[in-house]
Structure 1
Amino acid sequence: MKILKATPEHLKELVPLFDGYRVFYKQPSNPEAAHDFLNERLLKQDSVIFMALDKKGKGFGFTQLYPSFSSVSLQGTYILNDLFVALEARGKGVGAALMNHAKKFAIAESSKGLTLETAVDNPAQNLYERLGWVKDTNVFHYTWEVQTQ
């Protein structure tokens, strides 16, 4: 397995993974919109995407990090917003490899660390805790969303 930082040249392999990720979260499949969204992120460099590739160069997982800041600690930090492993590659260490790669990246960037949010029923929580991530029980997260009519 090879993990690399995605560029617009990797969209052919990345788009099906990203579309699969969105479908997993009960969104309609839309490869064209996925392509446009990812292309914009990569061109504007407002996220960092790491891809896991097999020996033949086929993508079978990705993680997307968004930069943020901690005013209290006066440091940059990253939000690990997306993590997805293709069905045929699950249980083979791809998710762990991507998360560990993200950790190394955060260290290299002198970041405070990484934060992620997940559904309460997401079985990947076992992976997160096995890799040393700690569930935050000291704060609540609130969300406000624009209501569309």
Structure 2
Amino acid sequence: MSLKSYSRARAVHVMLVYTGGCNGCDIEIVNCILSPKYDAEQYKVFLTWNPREADVLVVTGPVTKLNEQPLREIYKAIPEPKAVVAAGACALMGGVYKNIHGDIPSEEIMGPVDNIIPVDAKVPGCAVRPEDILSGVVAALPKLLDAK
């Protein structure tokens, strides 16, 4: 067993992708993984910026036209098994950025995350609470653990 596969089997690597919005959810997610209060790293949950190292993709914000294709490419680059968590009202339904006429998407908002890539866990909120983010990642873990 290589060092890379050994490490991957014993830790959860989370990649955060921002697809538009206000960055409120991103701040809370980084807070819950890196801050001493929540310290998810003590449970071997690590933040990565490399899709080839990621197990869980956490997506925040409404998916803008500019970010749609990069999101698809990042999703494809993450090795199997992988899980996706949509975090925040914008990622789940467009939040304050969706068209005021209801469910009709605007030209720049391509829709919620599950219109673009499959989503395994949804975390509501604006901005999401760190406890809920950790719960969302835990909810996505069975998909990873069953495949390993």
Q: TM-score, normalised by structure 1?
A: 0.26
TM-score relative to the length of structure 2: 0.26
Structure with the higher helix share, 1 or 2: 2
Q: RCO higher in 1 or 2 (8 Å CA, sep ≥ 6)?
A: 2
